[in-house]
Every structure is written in C-alpha cells, then in structure tokens.
Structure 1
Amino acid sequence: MTDAAPAPFRNEKALKRLKKRRAADTRFRFYGMSAIAFALAALSLLIVSILSQAISAATYHVVRYDVVLDPAVIAPAGKDKPADVARNIDGFYNLLRSNLLQTFPDVQGNRLETRELGDLLTRLAVLPVAKSVAANPTQIGQEMTIKVPLNDDLDLYLKGAVSPEARLKLGTVEQGTETAPGRVTLSGPNAFKGLQSLISAQRAEVGDAVDARSILVTSGPATGRVVSMSANSLEMDLLTGSAADYQGARPLARVIALPEAQRNVSDDQIAWTLALKDMGRISRVPHFSLLTHTDSTYPELAGALAAIVGSLLTMLVTAFIAIPVGIFASVYLEEFAPRNRLTEIIEVNINNLAAVPSIVFGLLGAAVFLGFFGLPRSAPLVGGLVLALLTLPTIIIASRAALKSVPPSIRAAALGVGASKMQSVFHHVLPVAGPGIFTGAILGMARALGETAPLLLIGMVAFVADVPGGPTDESTALPVLVYSWATHAERAWEPMTAAVIVILLMFLITMNGIVVFLRRRFERRW
C-alpha cells in the first residue's frame, strides 16, 4: 500500500506565503488598535485640558455686605422713582464701599489704599441689587444683606491661580508687640526657623531675586508683611488686624513668588481679602450666573445666556430652512430626476460645495443677505441663512446615501401592488431611509453649531448685553463668544472660555445622542 500523496498546496513556498499573510493580518490589527488608542488618547487629553480650566469657573467667590439702604444715598429727593433707583449704580456702590471702609478704618485718609480697597468690588456688580430694590421699594431704609462677586483677580488669588506661593505653618508666637505705628515684632523660641530655612533655600536657588518677593504672615484677621527675621523673632509691617491676634497663635506664612509690582493684586488687597474670609464674609459658591447673565466687560459678571439663546435661535432658522430643503432635494435627485448631463452637473457641484471652506459662505452671506437684501446685522436670521447654505450639501449627500441604502425590492414591491411612484417613495422608501436621513440632518446641524468664521463675517461678534427676543434681534453665538473671550488679555477669561467650550460640547453631545437614539429606534436590518 503506497503512502498518500502530499497536498498540492502544502509545500515550503505556500507555507511561507501563509505565514507572511498571517503576519500582515497581525500587523494590520496592531495598526488599527494603535490608531484607536492614539485617537482616544488625543481626545482624552483635549477633554482633560478643557475641564481642568473650566473647573475653576464652576465656582467663584462672593462677598457679603450687611448695609442699611439709606434713602439719601440710593433714592435722593427727585430721584426716588423705581426707574431712577435701578439706574443709581453709584449710590449702591458707595454704600458697599463705605461698608468696606468701616471694616478697615485704618485705610481712611490714604487715597491709594482707599482706591485699592474699593477695587475689591466691581462697580457694575451692584446692578442686579439696584434692579431688585427698584422692584421692591419697601426695602429702602431697611438693613439688607447683599452678596456680590469678588474682584476677578482676587478670586483667582484665592483659587491659587495668580502666583505660585509656598505656605508654611510657623511655631507658636509667645509675644507680639507693636514697636511703632504699623510695625509689629513677633517673638518665640525657634518659631521662625522653618521660614528662615525656606527663604535661605530659595535664595540659594534663585539668588537675590527672592528678596523682592512678598512674605505675608497671617493669623486670624491679621496679616503682616515681613521686613526682617531671625530664628526667634520676626519684624513686619501690619496690614490688617493687631499684634494681639498673633499672641499665642501659630501663624501661617505665605511666600508669594511674584513681586508685588508684577501682580494685579497688591499685598494690601490680599490682606483685606484674607481678613474678610476669616470674618466669614467671603464664600465660594457655584457660578450659576455663567448661565443666567449676559456678556460683560468684567469676567466675574459675564455670562453666556445671550450666546446660548442666540445659538438656539440661529439653529432654529438653520433647521427650518436646511432640513426640509435638503431632504426634498435629495429625494428629487435620487428618485425622480432624469439621469442626464444637467443632473450630473448638479450632483458634482453639491459634492464640491460640501468641501468649500466655511468662511466663503460667510463672505457670501455678508454680500447677499446684508449688502443686497439689507437684512439686520448680527441677527440670528442672517446667521441661520448662512449656516443653512453651509449645511445643505451635507444633508443632501447624507440623505441620498440613506435613500440608496434602501433595498430595490421595497420599491419593486410597492409598485407591484399598484402604488404610484410618489406613493412608493413617500409611503415606503422614506420611512425606511428615515434614520439615515435624520442622522445626516442632525450631524449637519452639529457642524453648523460649531462654526465661527461665517458668523464673524456677518457681525455676530458684537458685544451683546441683552438676551435676544427673536431672530431679528442683535445676538451672538457660543462659538463666537468662545473666540471673543479667548482674545481678552485678563487671566480670568481663560477658565470662563473653557466653561463656555464645555457648554458648547454639551450641546454637541446632546445632538449626537439624538442621532444615536434615532438610529437605534428606527433602524431596520436587512
């Protein structure tokens, strides 16, 4: 009996080719997994970067003022009508500033310190209070607790975002004496040895530049600026409080990295803020005003409400125009249009329009809608028209792809039972293609929501202090607000910009969630 003949493909060359093919398959899977991992890592890095900045804007510090609403200040004779009270911002501001001067009486008589103390409070921060009192005039003459935002620079300082600082708990102070007006000496055995070692280490690291740094020592409401020190004694200028506040306490030393001349907040302002915080008058609260206030020139007072409403109005105009026009255009081109040279040209141009930069649509909108038709500038109506033109190609292409995916048997069956062409399309084909059409429409709307360049060219970058009441009112949009706030020089705008980006991403996630829901709800598998 002879041995079985070897398989014709089981030879050295065939096995070598099989091994190479399997190795290529393994490499392809590795490349695919690497690409997915890289994309997820980049997305995670982006999200973490945005959220790390936005977290700071999620809360802010407010200051409590217990004041008597003096009629002579906020409602003087001849200006006591509700409308006059609502406009009397200076009167309310002076009340709160006077409260600060009463809290820190040593400041009176020094014009520079008086101005710096008044800077703890932004003048326009009292506008909501003025409107509230004007709406309820019975409060005039009574004592009222008012809470207004802290100055944005000091708010950032309390959040640790102004300047790096080293904090060190000192030893027990046995004696604190006032050696001269405004000059205090603290003493205690080895109470300041740790601070002396810290300054020596910093001086060895950065040289004599450390001498320009501010060293503040705080105990309760008292804060002093160090002038000289040794292991057992410390001399400083008293900024707030008294020498008695240090007696028997273990004060906290703050070594602020940036010199006072290079900061937007002075040592005095830091001392006043720490004193107010020790009194319980400063609290950190959720920043709901970011969603309830409109834009402002001050970061602590600014909000995104006008931009949110403007984006919603713009999207409504865009959806009202782009979705029905895009769907009916795709239905006609795919189901009813004759196959000739004209339809081929139309299809090619639709595909080309989908790749046109968005700024071109902005130029078109500025020339046609603003220049030729004379529509109102900075209005959601114009923004919606421009974004509708931008979105139409995307909706048409996605809708045609959804219609092509419907099996031909659906059309044949409908025509076979006597349905007309129109009935077969609208009663049978469109319901089956509906999930894909809705997906394309909402994805097109999501793209329009994030566009900035077209809206800039039609003037929606304007400063808007009021919530738009309709599509023809002056407005702005979330992407434009992000651009506008990102160009401001103040440090406080950075977390505010990141917070608005988070709001914009929430809108996009919501729209994409609707896409997933519609697809899973209505999709049919064949």
Structure 2
Amino acid sequence: MTDLIKATVKRGQVREAVEQSLIKRRKRNRRFKMLGLGAVILGMLLLGVMFFSIISKGYSAFVLTDIQLEIYFDPEIVDPEGARNPEVLASAAYGKLVKDALRKEFPGINKRKEKRNLYRLVSTGATQQLRDLVLDDPTIVGTRQKLWLTADDDVDQYYKHGQSQSRLKEQQLGWVAQLRAKDALRTSFNTNFFTAGDSREPELAGIRGAIVGSFFVILITLGLSLPLGVAAAIYLEEFATRNRWTDFVEININNLAAVPSIVFGLLGLAVYINFFELPRSAPLVGGLVLTLMTLPTIIIASRAALKSVPPSIREAALGMGASKMQMVFHHVLPLAMPGMLTGTIIGLAQALGETAPLLMIGMVAFIVDIPSSITDPATVLPVQIYLWADSPERAFMEKTSAAIMVLIAFLILMNLFAIWLRRKFERRW
C-alpha cells in the first residue's frame, strides 16, 4: 500500500513537472513570435520612414515655377537680315529679349547690381525656349507674345517652399511679390526632369541622359551575363564531372558573389581601360564591369533552377532514347528557365543600383549630352544621384530625392516582373 501511494505521488510530480515544462515552452514560443512580429513591424516602420523622407523631399521636383513675361521679338535682334534664315534665327541674342521684358515689367532699375538681381529671376534656359519658338514659327518675329518662361531655381524654391528654402534678396522678394499679385507666377509639370540631360542650373537639370545611359549599360549586361551565366550553370550542373577542379570553380563562383562591387570596378579599370584602352565613362565598359559582378548571381540562381527539376524528367527523357544534350535542352532547360530568368532579373536589378564600380571607370563625369551609342560618354541613374547629392543647392537636393524615387520605381517594377514570371511559369513537383 505504501509503494502504491509513493508511485501515485511520483506520477503526480512527473505530471506537474511536464505541465510546468509545457507552460515554459509555450511562453518561449509566444516570446519568439512576438520578437519576430516586432522585427517585421520595426522593419516596415523604418521602411515607411525612409519612403516618407524621400517622397516629402522629392515630390516638389516634379513641378517647376514659371514666370509670365511679355516678350517683344524685335526684328533688329532676332532677324536683322529679314530673310528668316534658320542659322541667323538660331544664333540671335534671345537673352536680350528676356532682359528687355524684365526691365519693362519693372521700370526704374538703373544700377548694375540691381539689374543683375533682376535678370536672375528668370532661368538661363529661357533663351532656349525663345529660340525654339522662333525656329518652330518664324512668323512671330516682330510680334509681342505673353509667354511662360522658366524661373530661376531660387524663385522656384521660394514659390514652392517659402523663404526658408530660398536665397532671394529683399528687393528680389518684392519683385516676386509683384509678379505673384499679377498672377504672373505658376507651377507646371516639370517635363525637363524627364527630357533633359544634366545641367549646372538646377531648374534645367534632368535625368534623361542618366536613364539612357542606364539602359545601354543594362542592355550590355543582359546580353553578356544571361547567355554566359546560363551556359556555365548548365555545364557545371549537367555535364561537368565531380572532381577537385569543378569544386574549385564552384567555391570561387560562390566567393565572387560576396566580393565588394568596387573590386570589380578596379578590375574593369585595370583590364578594360588601361589594358584594352576602351573609352572611359562609356556604357560599353560599364556593361562589361557589371557583367562580371552579375555573373555569379545568375550562375548560382540558374544552378538552383536546374537542381529543382526532378530527376524523373531526366530519366524519362533518357529512357525514351534522347541523348544527354537533347535531354538537357529539350526537357530540363525549358522547365528551369523561369527560375533562371527570375535570378537574372534580380541580378540586373542589383546591377541597376550599383555606383561604386562605375565611379572607378570614370562614369562620374559631368555629361550634358544624351548618349546615342554604347561608346558615347554617359552616366547612369545611381551616379547621377551621387553627383546631385554632392551639390549644395536646395533644388538639387529635391532632384536627388526625385531621382531616387524614379530608381526605386524601376527596381520595384523589375522585382514585380520577376515575381510574376516565377508565379506564372513555376511548376510544383
């Protein structure tokens, strides 16, 4: 009887210990879940703060301030010969027309310093606007036209953000107030931001040159890295024998994926520019450098896609009499291609945001003209952001944030395209 009581008590103690252990385990699980949820929420909050900061600083770059002036297209200045010769019209002193219009709008300005301050209300790009108007329609020579001309960046910042973001002097503020009272100031969509190249003047600077340069660089990177990466992955996964040499190659491919990107820039500088003497700051060299950087990512992703194809596909193809080459290219490769394309797009998205290797090959140069080929001097969007971020003007600061928004939009679209490809063509075995 005593032994029975002891056994019962012992079983009760064991049960109680097990229950206590389960309670502790559940608490640990709840704490782990709360920590994981907290990490996700914190990450989302930080991401939201980053996006809010970028958007709040950059949205204003998509609008531009214009000033309305009455321009007299004086024939003595625009076309003194009266022959409407396009060469004469293109070389006329249109800046004098703007200055005359400003002096007429604000009479009584005689001092040289006051004149300089007055002329600074209008951007230097206004002369190009007038030149384009005359070349498109020479009949306006000799007429008066009320036109909206691009304002200087200081006026633009004052009109959009107030005195705290402007460097206008007290007299200039008075002139701007008069224009505002006459409804001669407005904001319009900043088409220059998407259609113009870089400029020393913030109100005239755009990202078209950087976008075209990025397009050429990514095009070269895709054209080289995709076939080379897929071919290397097929050889290593399907044809190469397992020995020390292939193990050495695989280890180095994995190591190359973790090498800092600036090392590839140094390699490109030493090989492509110094040895092969390819042009500096050219999309051709940029694409070659980014190809070296992207290849390991594509090879690793392509090998993973090949491994995901079930062995039964290979065995069935070989059992039906297909050669190994036919088995790989007719059966395995089509099934692995969605995963390969996904890895390629992710690798290209990474390359699109790279700056350090391109700085090493000279793509940090100030490029005004839009590149027309892969050998023309060019820059890319991340480098353009880097250049603008180094400029002290407030207008360049907002353009930096706006360019970051455009770059992030491209990256999001590329990643969404990769997700769509994976979901559309992915097969579950």
The two structures share one fold, judged by TM-score above 0.5: yes
Give the SS at the match of 1:163.
Answer: helix
Q: CA separation of 1:410/1:279 partners in 2, compared to 1, >3 Å: closer, same or farther? A: same
| Match in the other structure for 2:155 | 154
Check conservation: 1:86, 1:127, Cα contact below 8 A.
Answer: no
CA–CA distance in structure 1, aligned partners of residues 177 and 241 of structure 2: 78
Unaligned segments of structure 1, at least 5 residues = 165-262
| Match in the other structure for 1:92 | 94
Q: CA separation of 1:8/1:524 partners in 2, compared to 1, >3 Å: closer, same or farther? A: farther
Q: Does 1:337 align with 2:240?
A: yes
Q: Does 1:27 align with 2:31?
A: yes
Give the SS at the match of 1:63.
Answer: strand
Which sits farther off after the overlay, 128-137 or 469-478? 128-137
Task: Find 1:376's aligned residue among 276, 279, 300.
Answer: 279
Bigger proportion of residues as strand: 1
Per-residue deviation, residues 147-179 of structure 1 (Å, max 9, x unmatched): 221111121111225418xxxxxxxxxxxxxxx
| Match in the other structure for 2:60 | 56
Which structure has the larger Rg?
Answer: 1
CA–CA distance in structure 1, aligned partners of residues 316 and 35 of structure 2: 45
Letter in 2 for 1:14: V
List 4+ stretches of structure 1 deviating above 6 A. Answer: 5-10
Letter in 1 for 2:373: G
Give the SS at the match of 1:11.
Answer: helix
Which sits farther off after the overlay, 498-507 or 431-440? 431-440
Check conservation: 1:83, 1:134, Cα contact below 8 A.
Answer: no
Q: Does 1:511 align with 2:414?
A: yes
**Alpha-carbon shift at residue 10 of structure 1 (Å):** 6.3
**Alpha-carbon shift at residue 115 of structure 1 (Å):** 1.4
Q: TM-score, normalised by structure 1?
A: 0.77
| Match in the other structure for 2:387 | 484
Task: Find 2:260's aligned residue among 357, 361, 371.
Answer: 357
- 1:102-501 aligned within 5 A: 102-107=104-109, 109-163=110-164, 264-501=167-404
Give the SS at the match of 1:123.
Answer: coil
**Alpha-carbon shift at residue 313 of structure 1 (Å):** 0.8
**Alpha-carbon shift at residue 422 of structure 1 (Å):** 1.5
Check conservation: 1:92, 1:126, Cα contact below 8 A.
Answer: yes
Q: CA separation of 1:87/1:7 partners in 2, compared to 1, >3 Å: closer, same or farther? A: farther
CA–CA distance in structure 2, aligned partners of residues 483 and 152 of structure 1: 20
CA–CA distance in structure 1, aligned partners of residues 11 and 237 of structure 2: 53
Per-residue deviation, residues 351-405 of structure 1 (Å, max 9, x unmatched): 1111111111111111111111111111111110100111000111111111112
**Alpha-carbon shift at residue 429 of structure 1 (Å):** 1.5
Check conservation: 2:84, 2:138, Cα contact below 8 A.
Answer: no
Q: CA separation of 1:92/1:79 partners in 2, compared to 1, >3 Å: closer, same or farther? A: farther
Q: Which of structures 1 and 2 has the larger relative contact order (alpha carbons within 8 angstroms, sep 6+)?
A: 2
Q: How many residues align?
A: 424
Give the SS at the match of 1:66.
Answer: strand
CA–CA distance in structure 2, aligned partners of residues 32 and 354 of structure 1: 28
CA–CA distance in structure 1, aligned partners of residues 339 and 121 of structure 2: 56
CA–CA distance in structure 2, aligned partners of residues 84 and 505 of structure 1: 45
Check conservation: 1:307, 1:478, Cα contact below 8 A.
Answer: yes
**Alpha-carbon shift at residue 513 of structure 1 (Å):** 1.2
Give the SS at the match of 2:186.
Answer: strand
Q: CA separation of 1:523/1:446 partners in 2, compared to 1, >3 Å: closer, same or farther? A: same
| Match in the other structure for 1:214 | none
CA–CA distance in structure 1, aligned partners of residues 337 and 11 of structure 2: 53
Unaligned segments of structure 2, at least 5 residues = none
Give the SS at the match of 1:419.
Answer: coil
| Match in the other structure for 2:69 | 65
Give the SS at the match of 1:277.
Answer: helix
Which sits farther off after the overlay, 121-130 or 433-442? 121-130
CA–CA distance in structure 1, aligned partners of residues 34 and 402 of structure 2: 37
Task: Find 2:22's aligned residue among 14, 18, 25.
Answer: 18
Per-residue deviation, residues 319-378 of structure 1 (Å, max 9, x unmatched): 000111111111111111110111111011111111111111111111111111111111
CA–CA distance in structure 2, aligned partners of residues 363 and 138 of structure 1: 56
Q: CA separation of 1:30/1:268 partners in 2, compared to 1, >3 Å: closer, same or farther? A: same
Give the SS at the match of 2:125.
Answer: helix
Give the SS at the match of 2:288.
Answer: helix
**Alpha-carbon shift at residue 77 of structure 1 (Å):** 4.1
| Match in the other structure for 1:230 | none
Taking only aligned residues, the RMSD between alpha carbons, in angstroms, comes to 2.2
CA–CA distance in structure 1, aligned partners of residues 360 and 80 of structure 2: 47
CA–CA distance in structure 1, aligned partners of residues 189 and 136 of structure 2: 25
CA–CA distance in structure 1, aligned partners of residues 41 and 72 of structure 2: 62
Q: CA separation of 1:80/1:370 partners in 2, compared to 1, >3 Å: closer, same or farther? A: farther
Give the SS at the match of 2:164.
Answer: coil
Per-residue deviation, residues 490-524 of structure 1 (Å, max 9, x unmatched): 12111111011111111111111110110111011
Q: CA separation of 1:382/1:278 partners in 2, compared to 1, >3 Å: closer, same or farther? A: same
CA–CA distance in structure 1, aligned partners of residues 280 and 79 of structure 2: 39
| Match in the other structure for 2:45 | 41
CA–CA distance in structure 1, aligned partners of residues 189 and 325 of structure 2: 56
Give the SS at the match of 1:159.
Answer: helix
CA–CA distance in structure 1, aligned partners of residues 375 and 68 of structure 2: 40
Bigger proportion of residues as helix: 2
**Alpha-carbon shift at residue 80 of structure 1 (Å):** 6.4
Percent identity (aligned): 47
Check conservation: 2:125, 2:150, Cα contact below 8 A.
Answer: no
Check conservation: 1:79, 1:85, Cα contact below 8 A.
Answer: no
Q: CA separation of 1:78/1:141 partners in 2, compared to 1, >3 Å: closer, same or farther? A: closer
Q: TM-score, normalised by structure 2?
A: 0.94
